[in-house]
Structure 1
Amino acid sequence: MLAVFDKSVGKPPNELSIPFVGSKCLNSSPEEIAEVFRSWRSDSNFYNLSSGNFLALSHEDENPVYPRSIVVMDDIFCIFSGALYNTCDLRRHYGLSRQATEAMIIVEAYKVLRDRAPYPPDQVVKELEGKFAFILHDSKASVVFLARDRDGCVQLHWGTAAGGSLVCTDDPNVISAACGKCYTPFPLGCMFISGKGLINFDHPMNKVRGIQREDDEGNISAVIFQVDLFTRLHSIPRTGSAANWATTTIVEGD
C-alpha cells in the first residue's frame, strides 16, 4: 500500500524532515513516486485525489495472514492491512452489517470521531484488537488518519519527499526510493491525525518525541519516535468516558 499527501493535508512532525548530514531527502515528486510503485507492483490500483494526492494498493507479496484491502465511503478512502480479531463486536458497536470489512469499520470509527466530538481518539483505536496498520484520507475535510498496532506485525513507514509531501507505505524499498533517508518506521501503538499530530493511544496525554540517532561519525542516521513519559501535553479536559462511548454507539472499530 502507498499514499502520498501534500504537506497542506498531512503535515508530519518536524522531526521527520530533519536534514541528514551528508545526505538529503530525495527530490521525488508524487508522479515519480507513483511511477516507481507501478513499475514494482504491476497489479497496483491507483486512487487519484485533488492536489496530486493519491493512494495505491497492490496485493503482490501479500501476507495471507495480514491481507490488504481498500474501501471508499462518503468521500473517505481507507487502506487497511492486517486483521482485527473483534470484528463481530465492532460491527455491532457501530451498527454495521455482517459483511462490513475491517476497512469499513475503520471508516465508521473515524466518522464517530469527526461527527460526534468531543471524543478522545485514543479510545477509538484502543477498541481495535488485532494486528494492523491503516491509512485513511477524508477528502472533504482534508484529514489524514494513520495508525499502527502495538506489536508492529504489519509494516508501516512514513517519510517526506519533494516539497514536504508525506509518504506512507508498508514497503521499505518504496519509502527509501521516495524519501532517501528522510523516513522512519511509523511508531508502534501510535496514530497520527491532521491537526492533532502524533499520539500514542496508551499514553495519549504524553508527547511523542522524535529522537535523533547518530552514527559513529556523529551524523544523524535515523529518527525514532518514542513516548516521553516526562512531558505532558497541554489540552482541554477530556470529556470522553465509557458511559459516553456506550451512549454514542447505541445512537448509531519491524
Structure 2
Amino acid sequence: MLAVFDPTVAKCPEGLRSPPVAGGAVAAGGAGALMKGFAGAHADAVTVSLGPAGALAYSAANQSPLVPRLFGAVNDIFCLFQGHIENIASLKQHYGLSKTATEVTILIEAYRTLRDRGPLPASQVVRDLSGKFAFILYDTLSKSTFVAADADGSIPFFWGVDSENHLVFSDNVDLLKASCGNSFAPFPKGCFYTTSGGLQSFEHPLNELKPVPRVDSQGQMCGSNYKVDSEAKKDSGIPRVGSAADGPTISEAKIPLRWLPFYHFGISSCGLCPVCLMLKYSRTTPETTR
C-alpha cells in the first residue's frame, strides 16, 4: 500500500528529513511519479487520485494471508489497511455494524464517529483496536489524514518525505528508499498521525514525542525514530479540582437570586443549592472532618 500527501494535508514532522547523501540518487518526487512507479511494479494495482491533496495506491500482490491488505471507501473516506484486528466482533457491535463488516468498514465508522460526535479522543479510538495493524485513512471532505500502527509494530510500515516535501507512507521499504532517499524511517509503533494533531502516541497521549536521529549501517543519517519524552507533558485540559475549581460564591459573583437554579449548570458552583452543597461535601476527605 502507498499514500502520498501534499504538505497542505500532511506536514513533515521535525526530524524526518535528513541531509541528502553526496552522490545519492533519488527518484522524482510527487504523487504522479510515485503512483506511476507503483502501478508499473504491480499489475493488479489500484490507484486513486486525491487531486492536489495527493494519491493512494493498493495491491494485493505478495500479501500474507495472516495479515492481508484491504482497501475500501465509504462516503468519500478512503482507507488502506494491513493486518488483522482480533476484537473485530466487539467493535462491530460497538459501532452498530453488520456481521459482514471488515476492518476497513470498522475504521471508517470509528473515524466518522470521532469526526462527527467525538465522544472519545483519537488516542482512545486507536487504543481500542487489538491486534496487528497499520492503516492509512483520508477524508476528502475535511481533507484530513489519520494514520496509525499497532503498539508492537507488527506490520512493516514506513514513512518519509520526498524531494517535493510530500509525506509518503508505505509498507514497501524499497519504495521509500527510492523516493525519499535517506529521509525515511519506520513509522513509530504505538503512534498515530493526524492532519490536525501531527504525530502522537496513543499509549502515552499526555507525553510529547521527541525525534532521535537514525543512523544506517554506513553511518549516514536516515530520518529519525520517535520516542516518548517522559519529562515533557502535554496540557491535558483537565480542570483543577478542590477549592480552586469551586469558582466564586453567589455573593462574590453577584448573581441575582432568580438565576440561582440555573447557575451551577454552566457557570460555577453557587454553593447554596442542594446539588452544589452535595458536591462540595462529597469532596471532603475523612481526614479533614475529624
TM-score by length of 1: 0.87
1:168 corresponds to: 169
**What one-letter code is carried by the residue in structure 1 that aligns with 2:188?**
P
Farther-moved stretch of structure 1 (156-165 vs 11-20): 11-20
2: CA distance between counterparts of 1:108 and 1:24? 41
What root-mean-square deviation, in Å, do the aligned CA atoms of Structure 1 and Structure 2 show? 2.0
Instruction: Give the C-alpha shift of residue 236 in structure 1.
Output: 2.8
**Which has the higher relative contact order, 1 or 2, with Cα contacts under 8 A spaced 6 or more apart?**
1
2:201 corresponds to: 200
**What one-letter code is carried by the residue in structure 2 that aligns with 1:150?**
A
User: How do residues 150-229 of structure 1 correspond to structure 2 at under 5 angstroms?
Assistant: 150-214=151-215, 219-229=220-230
The alpha-carbon distance between structure 1 residues 216 and 42, as it changes in their structure 2 partners (threshold 3 A), is closer
Farther-moved stretch of structure 1 (216-225 vs 82-91): 216-225
The alpha-carbon distance between structure 1 residues 67 and 214, as it changes in their structure 2 partners (threshold 3 A), is closer
1:147 corresponds to: 148
1: CA distance between counterparts of 2:140 and 2:199? 20
Give per-residue Cα distances to partners, 1:193-243, cap 9 Å, x unaligned: 1110111111001111111134799752441111111111235339xxxxx
Instruction: Give the C-alpha shift of residue 14 in structure 1.
Output: 2.2
1: CA distance between counterparts of 2:40 and 2:238? 49
**What one-letter code is carried by the residue in structure 2 that aligns with 1:227?**
V
1: CA distance between counterparts of 2:218 and 2:150? 34
1: CA distance between counterparts of 2:195 and 2:228? 19
Give per-residue Cα distances to partners, 1:140-193, cap 9 Å, x unaligned: 101010000011221111111132111110011111111111111100011001
The alpha-carbon distance between structure 1 residues 131 and 20, as it changes in their structure 2 partners (threshold 3 A), is same
2: CA distance between counterparts of 1:179 and 1:9? 18
Instruction: Give the C-alpha shift of residue 129 in structure 1.
Output: 0.6
User: How do residues 66-85 of structure 1 correspond to structure 2 at under 5 angstroms?
Assistant: 66-85=67-86
Give the secondary structure class of the aligned counterpart of 1:103: helix
TM-score by length of 2: 0.77
1:17 corresponds to: 17
Give the secondary structure class of the aligned counterpart of 1:32: helix
2:2 corresponds to: 2
Farther-moved stretch of structure 1 (24-33 vs 137-146): 24-33
1: CA distance between counterparts of 2:93 and 2:218? 55
Residue pair 2:70, 2:81 contacting (<8 A) in 1 also: yes
Farther-moved stretch of structure 1 (24-33 vs 40-49): 24-33
Residue pair 1:20, 1:219 contacting (<8 A) in 2 also: no
2: CA distance between counterparts of 1:29 and 1:156? 20
2: CA distance between counterparts of 1:229 and 1:151? 19
1:62 corresponds to: 63
Instruction: Give the C-alpha shift of residue 21 in structure 1.
Output: 5.4
User: How do residues 27-42 of structure 1 correspond to structure 2 at under 5 angstroms?
Assistant: 27-42=28-43
Q: Which has the larger radius of gyration?
A: 2
Give the secondary structure class of the aligned counterpart of 1:119: coil
Q: Number of aligned residue pairs: give it.
A: 238
1:130 corresponds to: 131
Residue pair 1:24, 1:182 contacting (<8 A) in 2 also: no
2: CA distance between counterparts of 1:185 and 1:43? 26
**What one-letter code is carried by the residue in structure 1 that aligns with 2:16?**
L
1: CA distance between counterparts of 2:21 and 2:221? 6
Residue pair 2:207, 2:229 contacting (<8 A) in 1 also: yes
Give the secondary structure class of the aligned counterpart of 1:162: coil
**5+ residue gaps, structure 1:** 239-254
